Amino acid sequence: MLIGVPKEIKNHEYRVGLTPSSVREMCAHGHKVMVETNAGEGIGCADEDYIKAGAEIVGAAKDVFDKAEMIIKVKEPQAVEYEQLSEDQLLFTYLHLAPDPAQTKGLVNSGATCIAYETITDNRGGLPLLAPMSEVAGRMSIQVGATALQKAHGGRGMLLGGVPGVQPAKVVVIGGGVVGTNAAHMAMGLGADVTVLDRSLSRIAYLDDVFGPRMKTQYATVDATEELVFDADLVVGAVLVPGAAAPKLIRRNQLSSMKKGSVIVDVAIDQGGCFETSKATTHADPTYIVDDVVHYCVANMPGAVARTSTFALNNATLPFALALADKGWKQACADDPHLLAGLNVQGGRVTYKAVADDLGYDFADPAGLIAA
């Protein structure tokens, strides 16, 4: 199979779909790989590194989209990219379709087969291709939140961990999954007062077992969420409904009850955000203020630490990418129900139910497409 890797074009996105070592693995399986020139410069990998790994370097993204049978990216395709896709191509990348009707329509119109990293599952019910970026985003949420709390950035002027004789900042993490756990871990490491909200009693028990009394946990009722958020200095939104739009947990009329200069970091922004006032921002202009509350809603947070993120992501994506290239998407999905769960769009049909429900498309059962 001819595999193409274009350079990412989203604002301040420095990651790349394949590292040189992943290219070498693809070539060892008998596949050909073309990489757009300078695609790896953001992670410190030059064209020469890709050439040594066996790739062909091409001068423009158009060469990749014109020729490649499978295109491997990191972020969802931008309009100029999905307009170049054709029905005989396979796209393998993050998609986050539920909050993005324009992209969904573009992919449906292209006729391409589109497999999303974020909805591929594992035998434990996890999301293995989302997990590494969730780990990065969770840890980053505390870094960026601590910065946003500084007075010069619009925050309350608080040091996250306080100092002897001065109370630390109160950090509330909504959601105790991979993002929330990593956020809490980092916040506690910096000395903050940390509370995690979740609706899974088993997850709450797990967090208590792992972190002990250093972390506070609470069941996420509406009352508990309001009480904790209104008293927080930093709130991290870490709620995920796989493939679907994130639920809105804090409404616009509730912001005025939060502390002036408090900070919201909405890690769920890729799925539309879990605060009603959230809107996607970029690394170039990451924050804005509503009712004296600082909002950080960058939609590709891990792109800021591109090298770490790319290598972590490739560790997870490479086995699935090899299966798709070795077998073709139909056989690979037939052999692996977890990979089949990643099929979001195929041949002009929406094949992921949460996306179809959220955006008003007829749902095409992916198992039926495989059988046909």
Q: What is the mean pLDDT of the chain?
A: 96
DSSP alpha helices (H): ranges in the chain? 20-28, 47-53, 61-67, 79-82, 101-110, 131-148, 178-189, 201-211, 222-230, 306-327, 329-335, 337-340, 353-359, 366-371
The whole-number pLDDT of residue 355 equals 96
Closest to 297 in 3D by CA, of 257, 251, 328, 266: 266
For the record, the structure tokens of 36 come out as 């757009």
| Position 11 pLDDT exceeds 90 | no
Report the C-alpha gap between 183 and 232 in whole angstroms. 15
| Position 372 pLDDT exceeds 80 | no
- Residue by residue, DSSP assigns 41-90 as GGGT--HHHHHHHTPEEESSHHHHHHH-SEEE-SSPPPHHHHTT--TT-E
**Nearest 5°: CA angle at 45, between 39 and 51?**
80
**338/371: higher pLDDT:** 338
* pLDDT tens string 343-365: 999 999 999 999 999 999 999 99
For the record, the structure tokens of 289 come out as 């203020």
At 114, is the pLDDT very low, low, confident or very high (cuts 50, 70, 90)?
Answer: very high
| Position 244 pLDDT exceeds 90 | no
What's the DSSP call for residue 304? G
Report the C-alpha gap between 176 and 241 in whole angstroms. 13
From 193, 198, 266, 270, active-site residue: 270
The whole-number pLDDT of residue 176 equals 95
Query: Which residues lie closer than 8 Å to 131 by C-beta, 6 or more apart?
Result: 178, 316
The whole-number pLDDT of residue 323 equals 98
| Position 300 pLDDT exceeds 90 | no
| Position 221 pLDDT exceeds 90 | yes
Q: Is the dihedral of CA 294, 298, 304, 310 positive or negative?
A: positive
Enumerate long-range contacts of 281-286, CB under 8 Å, 24 or more apart.
282/11, 282/12, 283/11, 283/12, 284/11, 284/12, 286/144
| Position 237 pLDDT exceeds 90 | yes
| Position 299 pLDDT exceeds 90 | no
**Is 326 one of the catalytic residues?**
no
At 241, is the pLDDT very low, low, confident or very high (cuts 50, 70, 90)?
Answer: confident
Are 23 and 54 contacting, i.e. CB atoms less than 8 angstroms apart? yes
At 168, is the pLDDT very low, low, confident or very high (cuts 50, 70, 90)?
Answer: very high
- Mean pLDDT in residue range 74-94: 97
Report the C-alpha gap between 248 and 237 in whole angstroms. 10
- Over the Cα atoms of the chain, what is R_g? 21
Strand-pairing partners, residue 137, are none
Helices 201-211 and 178-189: crossing angle in degrees, nearest 10, is 30
Helices 131-148 and 178-189: crossing angle in degrees, nearest 10, is 40
**Is 336 one of the catalytic residues?**
no
From 31, 96, 185, 295, active-site residue: 96
Closest to 126 in 3D by CA, of 286, 13, 240: 240
193-198 and 216-219 beta bridge pairing:
parallel
Please state, for a pLDDT cut of 90, what percent of the chain lies above it: 93
For the record, the structure tokens of 8 come out as 């990412």
* pLDDT tens string 325-338: 999 999 999 999 99
* pLDDT tens string 174-183: 999 999 999 9
Report the C-alpha gap between 316 and 178 in whole angstroms. 15
- Mean pLDDT in residue range 118-141: 94
Please state, for a pLDDT cut of 70, what percent of the chain lies above it: 100
| Position 240 pLDDT exceeds 90 | no
Closest to 208 in 3D by CA, of 189, 187, 194: 194
Lowest mean pLDDT among 4-8, 45-49, 131-135: 131-135
Closest to 301 in 3D by CA, of 175, 148, 127: 148
* pLDDT tens string 18-43: 999 999 999 999 999 999 999 999 99
Closest to 119 in 3D by CA, of 370, 371, 308, 320: 320
